[in-house]
Amino acid sequence: MAEPTKHHKACEDTDNETAAPSIPAHARQSINHCSLPADILGGLEYQRHPIPLEIDGVRELHAQLFERLDIEGAAEERARQFTAYMSACFSLEHPEEAGLSGRKRRHATYLRVIRGWSFDSDGREAAALKGWVESRFGLLARYHVDALRDEDEDAYRHYAQARAAGLYGTNAMEAQLDLLYAYTQYEFARRQPGTRHLRLYRGVSRVREHEIVARLDRRHAVLLLNNLNSFTATRERADEFGDYILSTDVPVAKVVFSSDLLPGKLQGEDEYMVIGGLYEVELAWH
């Protein structure tokens, strides 16, 4: 995993901070299903001073899993136990036991959805993931194939259809993602106790496609990111995905998943799926 950030002014130097902007009302919902409301976890103040997040009831419902993980010292064995628990809990190997029939969606699992996101962040699986973030964290998708600004526009209707298709015929997909997030947060706490931020990078082709809330100077800005985003732990990898590099300190609590948590299951060992909202970023070009 990435090393924790040590010296980044936006998140560590609070002496000269100005008032941190809040996430606009049009980019969030009034209710969600986690331990903080969307207007707080989506704001810039949360990026600067994050606290842990929990999706309602997940740790309690799956207490047996986390009790097993607590007594296991090897990360690889914890990953094995997690995947075995997911398979058993959601009948992933035998979907007919969960009442699923037909061939199309029998193998629609959390792993398939994560793979789909990695291949196409505008695809059906990606829409399902963005819908899950909306439901659990209350942050609305801002982009899917096209900008999402009005529910009456075609772009939003196409997104809503893809979101529904991504969840249709799956075995409690959102509950699977809930547990994946809880496991991710558990593993970060075990592997890097006390770490609040990770310095991550994102390559983009056109900065103007992002919603710029404030220009701080030539190299720094506050952006409203999509409700789910791909980042990488290595700047060199980010160079492959665009002419501009966004560098920022991501709260650990906003990391949905990192591929290295489940060795051998997914590609992209330095990819991080990150919940959006307001972020102060450093802009660079090459």
Spans in the chain with pLDDT lower than 70:
1-18, 95-107, 208-209, 268-269, 286
Residue 236 pLDDT = 87
For residue 283, what are its two tokens? 């802009």
Residue 101 pLDDT = 55
**Whole-model pTM over 0.75:** yes
Asked if 117 and 125 touch (Cβ cutoff 8 Å), the reply is yes
69-88 burial, b at 16+ Cβ within 10 Å, e below that, comes to: beeeeeeeebbeebbebbee
Residue 4 pLDDT = 45
Residue 20 pLDDT = 81
Question: Measured between alpha carbons, how far is 165 from 168 in angstroms, rounded to an integer?
Answer: 5
Share of the chain above pLDDT 70, in %: 87
Asked if 253 and 52 touch (Cβ cutoff 8 Å), the reply is yes
